[in-house]
Amino acid sequence: MAARGHLKRKVLRGLALKWALNQGFRIAATDVALPSLKTRADVAACKPEAPKRVKGTTVLRAGQTLLIECFHGGPRAGNEIPQETLLSRLAELELQKAAHEDAMRRSFPTLREGETLFPEFDVYRFQDAGSADYAALMKEIDVLSMQVHHGTKLEKLARWPAANLRYIAAEPGVIQCSELPAGWGLLERHGAELMPAVKAVWRDATEMNRWTLMMRIAMRATQSAAEFGSYVI
């Protein structure tokens, strides 16, 4: 059973890497070490920005960053099952969140990023609308989500401000929307493809942390290339 689970996770990682590349994240790798968190990201990716001239100086920026965690079983496997009351409350808040975001899509179309392959799943910067009610709602979701995922790998990744977008990749039905960490999206496997089921919420990430993540991705990709080369020489 353990071997089967490992194989499923490996397949999901491959599909997640393919999905990230299809979304324009041209720098990507699987099993990326994150020493500061003492863990590894299943898939990490970066969409670097082209150099820009600002007042006569060439400015380089890390660009958008992405993390994807893969689950062949529930994300709470190996951890204490959270209280059902927390999940129930999160489900209620998710419905309120969806209503707020639907209204903001109609009132503030400029919040749309418009850079994804699937237009219906484009990223929206809802926090830029300046809604106090939405901010309070998201704060409560963040707090409860942290309680649900306390002590897990997901909590570590959620606390590190390096990824603008975070997704979980899983088989259909493995995880419910209310069980996702706050702001995370969901990619579900359908055959040999991953399809977006829940949009990720855009999160601002510091320039330094995004550069750090891109460097870790490049190091892992180089290591993978070297390991592959050792077999074909």
Band of pLDDT at residue 77, cut at 50, 70 and 90: very low
Rounded-to-integer distance, Cα 11 and Cα 70, Å: 9
Residue 118 has a pLDDT of: 43
Instruction: Give the residue ranges of DSSP H helices in 127-177.
Output: 132-148, 153-159
Bridge partners of 69, per DSSP, are 168
Between 232 and 218, residue with greater pLDDT: 218
- Check whether 115 has a pLDDT greater than 60: no
User: What is the token pair recorded at 78?
Assistant: 């190996």
Q: Domain residues of the chain, as ranges?
A: 24-232
How many residues appear in the chain? 233
What whole-number distance in Å separates Cα of residue 211 and Cα of residue 72?
Answer: 30
Nearest to 162 by CA among 114, 220, 221, 216: 216
Q: How far apart are CA 142 and CA 140, in angstroms?
A: 5
Q: Running DSSP on this structure, what letter comes out for residue 117? A: S
How far apart (Å, rounded) are the C-alpha atoms in residues 26 and 95?
Answer: 34
Instruction: Please compute the mean of the pLDDT values over residues 69-82 and round it to a whole number.
Output: 57
CB 71 within 8 A of CB 170: yes
Distance CA 138, CA 96 (A): 10
pLDDT, residue 75, reads 44
Q: Quick check: 76 pLDDT over 90?
A: no
- Which of 6-10, 66-70, 106-110, 134-138 holds the top average pLDDT? 66-70
Residue 109: the pLDDT is: 66
Question: pLDDT, tens digit, for every residue of 22-73?
Answer: 999 999 999 999 988 889 999 999 998 887 777 778 877 888 999 999 987 6
The answer to whether residue 80 scores a pLDDT higher than 50 is no
In the structure, what pLDDT confidence band is assigned to residue 106 with cuts at 50, 70 and 90?
Answer: confident
